Amino acid sequence: MLQAVQASGPASSSKSRRGGRSGMTMPLIAPSVVILLIWSIVPLVMTLWFSFRHYNLVDPTQTGFAGFDNYVYLLTDPDFWASLINTLILVGGVLLVTVCAGTLLAVLYDTEFFGRSIARLLVIAPFFVMPTVSALIWKNLMLHPIYGVLSALFRDVGLSPIDWFSRAPLLTIVGIVSWEWLPFAILILLTAVQSLDHEQREAARMDGAGPVASFFYITLPHLRRAIGVVIMIETIFLLTIFAEIDVTTAGGPGVATTNLAFLIYARALLQFDVGGGSAGGVIAIILANIVAFFLVRSIARNLEV
């Protein structure tokens, strides 16, 4: 009996110490937890509240409970489905460019060549340019149909300049956003490439595997997890692309470059329909959480392998 009490003594005392420490630290972390909850929950609750209300900033007569009218109007609006398709094209196009080009450039920058340090610095630099500044540079300096650098190059070789934002607006937005996010993909993938065992690649080379076979059977499988992380993080941010569209095309021509984020902005702040904009925000939150759920499950499954 005495031995049992002695054996349980240290365990019970350690539990009491842990309980005492948690009791002492709770008042210290409580303010930050409360602020975080208010910061995240209050806007969400207000968005839900206004999504079920008739609320127009320029028409005070539109008041009262709307039920699901805002959601029905939004889901039956052709502009909503066009913006949803544009959002999927934008996210998919940028992911395709950044993952494919990022993988190839990461493998390239892992090899030794003259000026590699400078090349790495230059390829990562666009990630530090603000989206608004990046959009202005591409709109007024690079792709302007009269004064742009690309237009000058076209004229030098005898070709007619192209008004990219009128002829291929969504493709142009995809290119601009890909230029911004390619450095992030390269940074993550280059770190993963550098963690690859060089002895494994050397053994494959000695067994007769060429560069292409080594890339597909050794390097690419090793980058699977890093590619999954890039896809997950970029998708979460690409669903809310706004500045590039607002600065360059303002969602046009028509709704050719209107994504879900810009549609919500247009409804709430251009058409002053706070109820409709809030309904769009709720739908965007639901879609983003669905995408994040499947992405996180996919990444977690890869990490368990």
Q: What is the pLDDT of residues 167-200, one digit of tens each?
A: 999 999 999 999 999 999 999 999 998 888 777 7
Q: Pick the residue with more confidence: 58 or 176?
A: 176
pLDDT on residue 60: 79
SS3 19: helix
pLDDT on residue 5: 44
Amino acid at 170: L
What percent of the chain is predicted at pLDDT more than 70? 90
pLDDT on residue 23: 61
pLDDT on residue 305: 54
Q: Is the pLDDT of residue 13 over 70?
A: no
Task: Single out the residue of 234, 229, 133 nearest to residue 178, CA to CA.
Answer: 234
Q: Pick the residue with more confidence: 62 or 260?
A: 260
pLDDT on residue 17: 54
Residues 237 and 277: their CA atoms lie apart, in Å, by 20
pLDDT on residue 20: 53
Residues 186 and 175: their CA atoms lie apart, in Å, by 16
Across 136-153, average pLDDT: 91
pLDDT on residue 76: 92
Task: Single out the residue of 148, 153, 179 nearest to residue 164, CA to CA.
Answer: 148
pLDDT band at 119 (very low <50, low <70, confident <90, very high): confident
Q: Left, alpha or beta for 115 (phi > 0: left; psi -120 to 50: alpha)?
A: left
pLDDT on residue 172: 94
Residues 253 and 71: their CA atoms lie apart, in Å, by 25
Query: How does the average pLDDT of the chain come out, rounded?
Result: 85
Range from 108-117, 153-162, 167-176, 274-283 carrying the lowest mean pLDDT = 108-117
Across 93-105, average pLDDT: 94
Q: Is the pLDDT of residue 132 over 80?
A: yes
Task: Single out the residue of 219, 135, 218, 234 nearest to residue 183, CA to CA.
Answer: 234
Across 40-63, average pLDDT: 87
The domain defined by 69-304 folds into: MetI-like fold (1.10.3720)
Q: Are 194 and 106 in contact (CB under 8 A)?
A: no
Residues 85 and 108: their CA atoms lie apart, in Å, by 34
What percent of the chain is predicted at pLDDT more than 90? 42
pLDDT on residue 48: 92
Across 65-75, average pLDDT: 90
Task: Single out the residue of 215, 24, 216 nearest to residue 111, CA to CA.
Answer: 215
Across 47-61, average pLDDT: 88
